[in-house]
Amino acid sequence: MNHILQAGQQQRQRIETAAEAVANLNPGATPEVVLVLGTGLGALVSEISDSVTIPYQEIPGFPTSTAPGHAGRLHIGQIGRARVLAFEGRFHLYEGWQMDDIVLPIRISCRLGVSSAIFSNSCGGMNRDLQKGDLLILDDHINLLGANPLTGANHDDWGPRFPDMSQPYCLESAARLSQIASQEQIRASRGVYVAVAGPNLETRAEYRMLHSLGADVVGMSTVPEAIICAHEGIRASAISVVTDLCDPDNLKKVSVEEILSVAAEAEPKLTRLVVNFLND
């Protein structure tokens, strides 16, 4: 067996072992939805009833979340009619993790039977119509991470070697999220997310370039997970919270503390939107 196939088998074993451990810790109903909650956006877990909470370090082979605002816990329970897996904290390239680590929560969730995914993230707004605290419901993305989670051996029983990416985010779900946001008087629009490696924020010239490519917001996550959803045939939705404004002609310095503060202020809107969507 060559080293590529061997690495693929080792990763498959890692995923299946972790999924079995999670299943044993929660012998309840099959989960339907996986939630991956981004920077400073973990309060949604308070909406989960009858929940089981599993620290990441108790899941075999699972990474440790080191990013600010990422608690590093898996919650399993009920939101409305939906049985959910909620990962409170994700993993990023800038932390030093590899793509196999970053997408582990989604791969595990697929083994456990989920049929849809909802991702949240904090991002910088480049579209000048956006304001701090706005929500952006993703229609599409641009991958500038310099890596792809499907590189390496493919497991044909999980998904095709060359998955289609014409609709990385479910347009029907995006339309419904937009409708709910309007009903709830939440400022939300639809647009394109570009993922970069980070961890530094971008220069003025980089913001100009990224916006010219067609992106409305920029962040450091979400795209790898969405690619895995496309590979596995899982319906994906993603909601970005605009935590800072990236106008290259009037660029202000921003700190992590400011980003977390804006995310915390916007969090009740995000929670209301997702809970109503899951109850729909």
Question: pLDDT tens, 38-90?
Answer: 876 778 888 999 889 999 999 999 988 877 766 789 999 999 889 999 999 89
Peptide bond into 60 cis (omega under 30): no
The pLDDT of residue 69 is: 65
The pLDDT of residue 1 is: 57
Say whether pTM exceeds 0.85.
Answer: yes
At 146, give phi and psi (nearest 5°).
Answer: 80, 10
User: Could you give the CA distance from residue 241 to residue 228 in angstroms, rounded to a whole number?
Assistant: 22
Residue 167, both tokens? 């609709």
